[in-house]
Structure 1
Amino acid sequence: MTDLPQIVDSHCHLDFPDFEGELPEVIARAKAAGVTRMVTICTRLRNEPAVRAIAETYPEVFYAAGTHPMSAAEEPLATLDELITLAAHPKFVGIGETGLDYHYTADSAEVQQVSLRVHVEAAQETGLPLIIHSRAADADMAQILTEGMKAKPFSCVMHCYSSGPELARQMLDLGFYLSMSGIATFPRSQDVRDIFAAAPLDRILLETDSPYLAPPPHRGRRNEPAYTALTAKTGAEVYGISVAEFAQATTANFDRLFAKAASYEAAS
């Protein structure tokens, strides 16, 4: 196991019912696959205590919290003070996920935009990276994030990137990161692989977004952090390097972006 490339699952949802009663085994399998750290993401702030408890229980797990755009109209609007208070926890390492999703929830576009701007401000004030979900909203996403950067710089990752090449270029120009999920491993996702191939290696993260988007040979079944290793193999092929080199690069990128997690690791 010590010879395995050491990688990070920068985005998973370990509090979801899909993992109920199985977390010790799920995390053990991740470690056995070389996944040394995981960031579990809270998508509704009322669930934050449960997500925090997972991070407090498992040394390998960190967490982030925000209001997912698809639930922005159903949840109380997050406040800047609320997010700043949450960010004081030593294992709270990111703001979100937040963002815009007009594919299923275009009717709530206005409240999604308000919510996103609150999260941008929280990232600006805390220095923690913003974790963005973006689907079918490229123009508004680019405008809001560009305006935010002009007002006060912040760091950001476009999680599970599968939007178009133009938004990718705009986000990279802002200094942001793109995160590669199991989508990049799907046979029909050559366009996504091409977008990553055109991006600098020092701006790429790995994730599962588990329990969703399991890569082959698990596609159609529950995803879990251990399968980050399968996406890493595809990433290495995209960049024409070894899995060990790709793992080393994406881990260094994670440590740079999620500096709070890296410093926690060093201190412990």
Structure 2
Amino acid sequence: MSAEQQEKPERREPQEPQEPLAFVKHTKRGDKAYAVPAAPAPLFDTHGHLTCFWSKDPAEVLVRAGRAGVRRLVTLFDPIADEMPLEEFRHRLAEWRARATAQAAEAGMPARGLPDVSYLAGVHPYGAPVFSDGALSVVEQALADPRCAGVGEIGLDYHFDADDNIEAAPHDVQIACFEQQLALACSRNVPVELHVRNDGADEARAAHADAYRVLSEVGIPAAGCVLHCFTEDRATMERFVELGCHIAFGGAATFKRNADIREAFAACPLDRILFETDCPYMAPEPLRGIECEPALIAFTATALAQDRSERTGEDPADIMRAAWENATALFAG
């Protein structure tokens, strides 16, 4: 074989161009497809539950996320709620990534286009009644894994849903569970993500008041603290930003009735904003009601950046770029 023949690149068949990514919403008036908006900056979903889909394949979800511009994703492992050993969870993550890589290659999509997936480990406040030293030990074990980026989601939930058969834990039980895991995050200096939800009828916002007190007394990791799925007002946002927290905004901020959340997003310091999906829950408008997935963060980020831009005059691309930079700095590694 001649040198010229040896250097000749292998001929490959051209790939069929992929159709634009879109999601369909089923309504009484018929089905309607919504194309995923093109993001002017990379997207980072800082909170999504890959273990919780009820009808979707996580591997396929990761491929669609890559197509939507999601470059990084933080998922969650809960030693109590996930009902699986840590090693099984790690195995599932690896298996989903492997299948996603194969599916992406088959579609002509480079593997580097898939989101890099890391995770947080922690016991949700729903698990507070059965929280134990054993569960805390599993969280500690997870922190030894390079793919584990911190502790979460932990916190306080004073709005338990009887329809979901969730036993309401006394506030002091939840606070004790929260304090122990927060102390672990502080001692290891890793980021922590908080779930803080008030009783719907509580205008005093007792859960946020108690969370603020716990953070003030136990401390906030220098590595960072995130209020995940923020659904409160501007004043609440400002109090937690003053403590040093980041604020993560998800699909709920796009709902028509939630003008207070959009006001909070527009007023939040640019170096403190994050985006998330909290998938498979709370898909953003115009897809509210469908099973959410990381690709839908493009709708949330686009809508909130545009709304903020109209209020402040900032370039939407700069807003989205700031959210990406904040998230990559927070979950470095």
State whether structure 2 residue 191 is matched by structure 1 residue 129. Answer: yes
Asked whether the 8 Å contact 2:79–2:135 carries over to 1, the reply is no
Of 251, 255, 263, which aligns to 2:328?
255
Change in CA separation of 1:170 and 1:106 when aligned onto 2, cut-off 3 Å: farther
For the residues of structure 2 that align with 1:101 and 1:17, how far apart are their CA atoms? Answer: 22
For the residues of structure 2 that align with 1:246 and 1:145, how far apart are their CA atoms? Answer: 28
Q: Which residue of 2 aligns with 1:146?
A: 216
> RMSD over aligned Cα, in angstroms?
2.3
C-alpha displacement of 1:153: 4.9
1:9-47 per-residue CA deviation (whole Å, 9 max, x = no partner) reads: 110000114255x12211111000000111111234443
Say which is worse superposed, 3-12 or 181-190, in terms of deviation. 3-12
Greater helix share, structure number? 1
C-alpha displacement of 1:94: 1.7
Say which is worse superposed, 153-162 or 49-58, in terms of deviation. 49-58
Q: Which residue of 1 aligns with 2:253?
A: 184
Asked whether the 8 Å contact 1:123–1:155 carries over to 2, the reply is no
Equivalence map 1:67-106=2 (5 Å):
67-76=123-132, 81-104=137-160
C-alpha displacement of 1:238: 3.3
Q: Which residue of 2 aligns with 1:12?
A: 48
Change in CA separation of 1:78 and 1:148 when aligned onto 2, cut-off 3 Å: farther
Asked whether the 8 Å contact 2:150–2:190 carries over to 1, the reply is yes
For the residues of structure 2 that align with 1:251 and 1:187, how far apart are their CA atoms? Answer: 25
C-alpha displacement of 1:85: 2.2
Asked whether the 8 Å contact 1:4–1:34 carries over to 2, the reply is no
Q: Which residue of 1 aligns with 2:172?
A: 110
1:77-106 per-residue CA deviation (whole Å, 9 max, x = no partner) reads: 566544332101010002010000011165
How many correspondences in the alignment? 258
**Structure 1: which 5+ residue stretches go unaligned?**
264-268
> TM-score normalised to the size of structure 1?
0.88
> TM-score normalised to the size of structure 2?
0.71
Name the SS for the 1:223 alignment partner.
Answer: coil
Name the SS for the 2:229 alignment partner.
Answer: coil
Asked whether the 8 Å contact 1:79–1:118 carries over to 2, the reply is no
Q: Percent identity?
A: 35
1:163-215 per-residue CA deviation (whole Å, 9 max, x = no partner) reads: 34333222101111000100111111100111121210110111000000001
Say which is worse superposed, 231-240 or 102-111, in terms of deviation. 102-111
Say which is worse superposed, 36-45 or 60-69, in terms of deviation. 36-45
For the residues of structure 1 that align with 2:330 and 2:273, how far apart are their CA atoms? Answer: 10
Q: Read off the aligned partner of 2:329 and give its amino acid letter.
A: R
For the residues of structure 2 that align with 1:246 and 1:166, how far apart are their CA atoms? Answer: 21
For the residues of structure 1 that align with 2:279 and 2:306, how far apart are their CA atoms? Answer: 22
1:238-264 per-residue CA deviation (whole Å, 9 max, x = no partner) reads: 3314443222111110112112xxx2x
Of 50, 56, 60, which aligns to 2:94?
56
Asked whether the 8 Å contact 2:79–2:139 carries over to 1, the reply is no
C-alpha displacement of 1:73: 1.2
For the residues of structure 1 that align with 2:170 and 2:133, how far apart are their CA atoms? Answer: 13
For the residues of structure 2 that align with 1:81 and 1:24, how far apart are their CA atoms? Answer: 29
Of 163, 171, 175, which aligns to 2:240?
171
Asked whether the 8 Å contact 2:79–2:138 carries over to 1, the reply is no
Q: Read off the aligned partner of 1:120 and give its amino acid letter.
A: L
Q: Which residue of 2 aligns with 1:266?
A: none
Say which is worse superposed, 41-50 or 159-168, in terms of deviation. 41-50
